[in-house]
Amino acid sequence: MAMANNKTQCFKCNKEKITYPCEGCSQRFCFVDLAEHKQLLHDELHIITNGYNEFKQRINERKQNPHNHPLIEQINQWERNSIGKIQQKAQEYRESVVKSSETCINGIEMKFNDVSEQIQLLQKENEFNEINLNYLRNQLKEITEELNNPPNISIEQNPRSFINDISTILSKKPKLNKWKQNAITVAGGNGEGQKSNQINKPVGIFIDKNKNIFIADYSNHRIVEWKYNTKQGQTIAGGNGKGNRMNQLNGPTDMITDQQNHSIIIADYGNRRLIQWLNQKQQILIHNIDCCRLAMDKHGFLYVSDVVKNEVRRWKMGEYNNEGIVVAGGNGKGNQLNQLNTPTFMFVDEDQSVYVSDCNNHRVMKWRKDSKEGAIVAGGNDKGGNLNQFSQPQGVIVDDLGQIYVADCLNHRIMRWCEGKEDGEVVVGGNVKGNQSNQLNCPHGLSFDDEANLYVADCSNHRIQKFEIVL
């Protein structure tokens, strides 16, 4: 009788042998190879166990030394940098105070010497009366007050921090806001005109914390403030007809407001000047500039787009007697990355990167601080109405998540672009040109209020539209 053949092929050596199954991999091994296979599994288990032990050790180290977190050193470096800046600023302020104090003391001393000479003269001539004595008494009182309270030395608290603030942020998927598609008209909307309840081709707009609306009323040659929930506006600059007198404007396109001192800086485009209105008094800040739009960063630097030189320049607030610094463009009209073609609206982020609506290149450019060329962050695919195109973009805003909002003027829509994406999306408008509540006609300026409601300068409909956020 023949012996039964119970041999099968070994998975490892491929020979016909008596084999044994491995439950884990569902393969069969001969006795020798099974032992080797089990040893390999044992070795792998040892490696994994060591990995778990090392990980447990790391957890214990983190628990025992929480200050060894990698971000702690970044915070420590920020602290050192901030302290260095504070010390540097403090030394500058001390030197300024000492210099001002010396100037003040010298002036007081000159006044004192003058009075002293008069006293000596009166004593010498022995001719004086009550009038002379009252005069000397008042002079002594004045220079004493001036010594105790120097008029040109004071401490002013600036709410703007000159050190870079930091914060810890838990990364999460950004929330994409949505807005009601039918807008509310909150200014104008009563036809083209110059009455107090009308506006004529509004361009730049700004919404303050009280939801009051400031409007560059281009064709009415005035700046209008439209109080929250009112039926008419109030002219706060210009409004004296088209002209170049100090109390007149000519096609203002944008403005920056400082409500604390009632100051407005205006891009007086038709007069080729930057003019400041301060408590109804006017001062020309910059002459002979084709100023199209304005922006200001958190450090108080003023940015001006020039549509003839095809550039953006930056000035330090109050120092307008120089040529400023080119921060975007300035290499002639063109569509290269170091050029612009009719730059209009701008937005400046926390890092002083400048976003520019490069209108006739139908794109939005981002110029990082001190860079020699920009990067296309929206559009740039020729003029058109597709989701990856613009047609003469105007207003631009960038939110805290880096999402870019653009008034796509001749497509009559507002778009949102996420940096790095090839296409944008329509957030409001885009229902062909029209004057219905869900339509726009050549939108220009954009602004958000504190509740993230979206305001649009609906230029050719002569109105300001408010699109309420969907909560």
Residues 239-294 pLDDT 10s:
999 999 999 999 999 999 876 677 899 999 999 999 999 888 999 999 999 999 99
Q: Which residues pair with 392 in a beta bridge?
A: none
What confidence category does residue 170 fall into, taking pLDDT thresholds of 50, 70 and 90?
very low
pTM for the whole thing? Answer: 0.65
pLDDT at 115 over 80: no
Superfamily of domain 178-470: TolB, C-terminal domain (2.120.10.30)
Task: Indicate whether 457 pLDDT > 90.
Answer: yes
Note the pLDDT of residue 172: 46
Which of 116-130, 211-225, 313-327, 370-384 bottoms out in mean pLDDT, i.e. has the lowest?
116-130
Residues in the chain: 471
Measured over the CA atoms of residue 355, residue 359, residue 364 and residue 366, the dihedral's sign is negative
The pLDDT of residue 456 is 98
Domain ranges of the chain: 7-61, 178-470
The single-letter DSSP state of residue 239 is -
pLDDT of residue 247: 95
Q: For 332-345, give the DSSP string.
A: -BSSSTT-BSSEEE
Q: What is the pLDDT of residue 154?
A: 59
pLDDT digits (tens, 9 = 90+) for 227-242: 999 999 999 999 999 9
CA 417 to chain centre: 16
| Token pair in block for residue 365 | 């450019």
pLDDT grade for 83, boundaries at 50, 70 and 90? confident
pLDDT of residue 434: 96
